[in-house]
Amino acid sequence: MSPAVRPFLLSAAATLAIVGVSACGGDASDAGVATAPPPFTLASDVPFCQPVVGAVRANYETADMARPVPDDPRYGGTVVVAGGGDLQGGLNGLTTRDQQTQETELHLVHATLISFDADRNPQPYLAASWTIDDDRGGATIRIRDDMVWHDGRPVTVEDVAFTFRTAMDPAVAFPNAAWFASYDPEGIEIVDDTTLRFTFEPHAGVEEPWAGLSIMPVHWLGDVPADSLANHPFGTECPVGAGPYVFEAYRPGDQWVLRANPAFPDELGGRPFIDRYVYRVITASSTRAAELMTGAVDVALGMEPVDAPAVESAEGVRVEAYDQRGFAFVAWNTRLPGLDDARVRRAMTMALDRPAMVQTLRAGYGVVAETGVGAFHWAHDPSLQGPDHDVAGARALLDEAGWTDRDGDGVRENAEGVALRIEVITNANTEREGIGRILRDQLAEVGVAIDLAVLEVGTLQERAFTPGAREFGGIILGWAHDFNINERSFFHSDSDADPYGFSALSDPELDRLLDSLPTTFDREEAGPLWQRYQERIVELQPFTYLYFSQRMSGVRSSLGGVELDVRGELMSAPRWYWEPESP
């Protein structure tokens, strides 16, 4: 996505062609899947997927026989993970727009050129080695020769070149287009069978996109028109990756099933311990928590704070709370009258009691946000002071901007009699809806009318991410930045047609900063730019930033190897295992 971010669109729809997976810590045959169709069976008659599924099935059977399960009690069993929404759009790394789907791609199904360790040091993955030019104007990458796609074909430099070039194609509308602002498709050169060369404009954070872009198979997607990728059946019916888990089945509105990849290179961790990974869609946090406590699921992702005490007191489960890069915010559409005035936007932020929001909605598990540059980023300024909660000051600022209650109905109007009535949209999710109600009630106190619309996630995405369809006044979202923050698609004046160009902001100073930050390598030089950038965001208030939250997940106590941190909650999933004494 452009600003190197991922939205949290906690929806309610989802998943697979395997049914009734419920028991945990045992073999899948013990998990209620005896009535499921055979592995790697298409749920629908899609011509494109027929040869794909056949090739994956044949390769899996061959690899499973050639590489028997190691004699280690940690191998085997099923883990059932519950999340709040479907993996939107499926497992196509070129079109993914939400964080849960991206994590499944990056850590389970697909492979990236590199990964990052806990200290943010780049580590080899598909790329066995690489060198970056001294002037940061290019890089040479050598890929491994032992990685294969789940259909048995080797992963090649042609796949890497195809993926990067396709991500740069405007017709794809790749969500993180800003990653490649310094690239040129013509600057991708295949040197030999295992080596390719990137030539680009010098910029900071060269390696960041390499860890965030899932490499895709050119032999299956190379002939698919770029503008058809987002809705192509590859993503939901027959995704093929090269990661530690193989896609097995999907049933919309229910679950996804992945199976351990027996051919995953030993040097990268080898075959995962858990045989089968099942992702269930359970919209309500309270239901996810209840299912965890009754043993129907093993990991309940993204629980709401109100559900944590019950899980903490239950036997055999625990709560993991961890910092994340995600924040909640309201994006204002500056295309509309009133919202085009920074004074109005600032007044609305002042009208909100954001510290109280953290207590009410997150039980204190969070901190007020002033910008999207959080504590995980080296340039974060903890001393930055945003608008304080000040109802009287908000009213005065709205008066100054020319919005007063001219007819006594409690809603302000401008000189032309246009009411300051704003449609704010969000998706069906307890926390988002709670934000919306607080927004509506507290802004009403200063004469701003909020019409809150809670939408199905697909409808929200269509309205939010489709240029030309953004007629709403505001949108409540959760977002997760990558470590190398680039908010160009949020705030640059040329980003209006980008998928994340919600605000349509136009500010020459902000444009200059957004142009300069990616090309300023030295932190001593970049520091003042980042400082001014954060200050300018606070001045302009294109978004009302609400809070960075700690994320909480419930985990079965007998599930080992679980590490949840700011890099992602599924980062360690290939090394999860059931303690030997587990049933």
**pLDDT in single tens digits along all 583 residues of the chain:** 333 333 433 332 222 222 233 334 443 333 333 344 456 766 668 899 999 999 999 999 999 999 999 999 999 999 999 999 999 889 999 998 888 899 999 999 999 999 998 888 999 999 999 999 999 999 999 999 999 999 999 999 999 999 999 999 999 988 888 889 899 999 999 999 999 999 999 988 899 899 999 999 999 999 999 999 999 999 999 999 999 999 999 999 899 999 999 999 999 999 999 999 999 999 999 999 999 999 999 999 999 888 999 999 999 999 998 888 889 999 999 999 999 999 999 999 999 999 999 999 998 889 999 999 999 899 999 999 999 999 999 999 999 999 999 999 999 999 999 999 999 999 988 889 999 999 999 999 999 999 999 999 889 988 988 888 888 999 999 988 878 888 998 999 998 888 889 999 999 999 999 999 988 988 899 999 999 999 999 999 999 999 998 889 999 999 999 998 878 889 999 999 999 874 4
Which run of H or of E encompasses 443? Answer: helix 430-444
- DSSP secondary structure letter of residue 295: T
Residue intervals of the chain classified under CATH 3.40.190.10 are 5-318+552-578
Q: Please state which architecture CATH assigns to domain 326-549.
A: Roll (3.10)
- Is 307 in a helix, a strand, or coil? helix
Q: How far is CA 396 from CA 348, 354, 415, 457, in A?
A: 11, 19, 16, 37
Q: Alpha helices of 277-419 — where are they, by DSSP H?
A: 285-294, 308-313, 342-351, 354-362, 391-400
pLDDT of residue 43: 63
pLDDT of residue 521: 84
Which run of H or of E encompasses 469? Answer: none
Nearest to 574 by CA among 275, 170, 152, 166: 275
pLDDT of residue 205: 85
pLDDT of residue 497: 82
The pair of structure tokens assigned to 243 is 């990661």
pLDDT of residue 38: 59
Cα 223 from Cα 115, distance rounded (Å): 29
The pair of structure tokens assigned to 508 is 């020459």
The pair of structure tokens assigned to 196 is 């390719």
User: What is the number of other CB atoms lying within 10 angstroms of the CB of residue 537?
Assistant: 25
Q: Is the pTM of this model over 0.85?
A: no
Q: How far is CA 523 from CA 5, 180, 205, 210, 531, in A?
A: 22, 21, 12, 21, 12
Residue intervals of the chain classified under CATH 3.10.105.10 are 326-549
Please list the residues that pair with 80 across neighbouring strands: 278
The CATH H-level superfamily of 5-318+552-578 is: Periplasmic binding protein-like II (3.40.190.10)
Please list the residues that pair with 197 across neighbouring strands: 140, 189
The pair of structure tokens assigned to 536 is 């300018």
pLDDT of residue 350: 98
Cα 385 from Cα 367, distance rounded (Å): 13
